[in-house]
């Protein structure tokens, strides 16, 4: 499913989906769920996960500078601390929203 509109509203990413539903994902949760290899690690062909040590995140890590579209399937946030390698597919964003609803 694709979004009709994606924008920052306050400290949340607001998404209006093509089915009319809406998601509001806190920016902190979005950043902590970054799917890039630097944040989540990388697996080798044997299934071993290689991940750098956990880095503390500053308040700038949760400030969104801009959001860039990646083709027709994803968005790539640029954060105030310079991090910009996470590509969030629309399916990943939908799952992140649903996971947050379960924890609320």
pTM of the model: 0.86
Q: Rounded distance, CA 102 to CA 104, Å?
A: 6
The CATH number of whichever domain residue 28 belongs to comes to: 3.30.2020.30
DSSP codes joined into one string, 25-57: EEHHHHHHT--SHHHH-EE-TT--EE-PPP-PP
**Mean pLDDT in residue range 7-26:** 96
pLDDT for 99 equals 77
Q: Give residue 20's domain range.
A: 3-103
- Checking if the pLDDT of 98 tops 50, the result is yes
Longest dimension (CA), the chain: 43
The total of structural domains in the chain comes to: 1
pLDDT for 104 equals 47
Torsion sign over Cα 76, 39, 25, 59: negative
- Which residue has 């630097």 as its token pair? 38
């Amino acid at each position: 499913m694709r979004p009709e509109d994606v924008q920052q509203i306050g400290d949340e990413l607001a998404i209006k989906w093509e089915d009319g539903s809406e998601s509001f994902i806190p920016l902190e949760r979005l950043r902590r769920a970054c799917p890039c290899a630097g944040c989540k690690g990388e697996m080798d062909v044997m299934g071993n996960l290689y991940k750098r040590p956990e880095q503390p995140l500053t308040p700038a890590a949760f400030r969104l500078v801009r959001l860039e579209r990646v083709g027709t399937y994803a968005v790539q946030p640029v954060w105030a601390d310079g991090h910009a390698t996470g590509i969030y597919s629309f399916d990943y964003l939908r799952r992140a929203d649903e996971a947050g609803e379960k924890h609320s």
